[in-house]
Amino acid sequence: MEFFKRRREADTQLSRYRDQKFQGSRAEQEDKLLKSSTVYVGNLSFYTSEEQIYELFGKCGDIKRVILGLDRITKTPCGFCFVEFYDREDARNAMRYVKGTRLDDRIVRVDWDTGFEEGRQYGRGKTGGQVRDE
C-alpha cells in the first residue's frame, strides 16, 4: 500500500526547473509550488488561442483563468501561458494527463507554477519573446 501511496504522490513531485526570477527564498518557492493550483504551459504555437487552451485544460477541471504569455515588445503571444484552476486536484489532472500530449500538433509542456503575478505574462528574452527561442 505504501508503494502505491508513493506513486500517487509522484504527480505532486516537482520537476527540476525553478523560475530564477522568483522573489523569495527557495523554500518559499517550493512551498508555493506544492500548494499551487496554477500550471505553466510551454511549447505552445504562437497561434494557439485561449479558446483552445480552455477546451483542452477544461477537460481536467474548472478553469479560473488563462493568462496568455506575450512578447514583451510586440504584445503578441509567444508560446506559453498560465492556467489557473480553482482546485489543486484539477491542476494535478493537467499534470497527469495533458503533459506530453499535443495541442495544435505541438507536444505541450506542463509544469507546476507558483501562481500568476502581474508582469510574468511577458517574455523575458532580449527581443521580447521567450529566452528559449533565442
Partner 1 sequence: MKFGGEVVEKLTNNFKDYLKSCNWSKASSLIRFFGDLCNCHVISASSLLNLFETLVDVTMEDNIPQARSDFYVYSVLSALPFVGKELNDKNHENLEQLLNNIENYISKRSKTHHTALRVWYSDSPHPQEEYLDCLWAQISKLRSEKWVEKCLSRPYLSLDSVLCEALTHNLPQIQIPPHESSFIYPNPRVIFRLFDYTDCPEDNILPGAHNIERFLIEEHMRWIIDQNYFARKEWYKIDYLNYINKFLFSAIALLSFPGLLKQKIPLEYMVVEVILGELFTLPKSKYLEICYGSLLLELCKLQPSTLPQVLAQAVELLYDRLDSMNVDCIGRFASWFAYHLSNFQFSWDWDGWSTCLTADNLSPKQRFVRETLQRCMRLSYHQRIAEIVPETFQCLLPDLPAPNNKFAEDETGSLSGTPYAQKLLNVLKEKHTPEEALEVLKDIPNPLQESEEEPSYNPLKINVFLTCLLCYLSKSFTHLFAGFAKYQLCLKSLNTSEEAQICILKTMFEVWNSHQQLIILLTKKFLKAGIVQHSAVANWLFSKDMSAELTKSYVWELLHETILQQVKTVEKIEKELEEAKEPKPKSEDGKEAGADGDIPMEEMVEKLEEKLESAQSDQKNLFLIIFQRFIMLLSEHIQSCESQNKSFKNLWFRWMIGRLQQVFFEHQENVFKYVSTLESLLFTPEVDQHILLIFRQFCSLRA
The residues of the shown chain that bind partner 1, judged by CB under 8 A, are 3-4, 7-8, 10-11, 49-52, 54-56, 59-60, 62, 65-68, 93, 96-105
Burial class of residue 125, CB neighbours in 10 A (0-12, 13-18, 19+): middle
We find the least distance from the C-beta atom of residue 62 to partner 1, in angstroms, to be: 8
Nearer to partner 1 (CB atom), residue 78 or residue 103: 103
The torsion angles phi and psi of 91, rounded to 5 degrees, stand at -65, -35
Q: Which is nearer to partner 1, 33 or 110 (CB)?
A: 110
C-beta of 101: minimal distance to partner 1 in Å? 6
Grid coordinates representing 91? 491542476
Shortest distance, position 11 Cβ to partner 1, whole Å? 6
Please give the Cα distance from 97 to 60 (Å, whole number): 8
Whole-number minimum distance, CB 104 to partner 1, in Å? Answer: 7
Select 67 or 115, whichever has its Cβ closest to partner 1.
Answer: 67
For residue 39, give the DSSP letter.
E
Nearer to partner 1, 33 or 56 (CB): 56
Q: Is 19 helix (H, G, I), strand (E, B) or coil?
A: coil
| Assigned C-alpha cell, 20 | 530564477
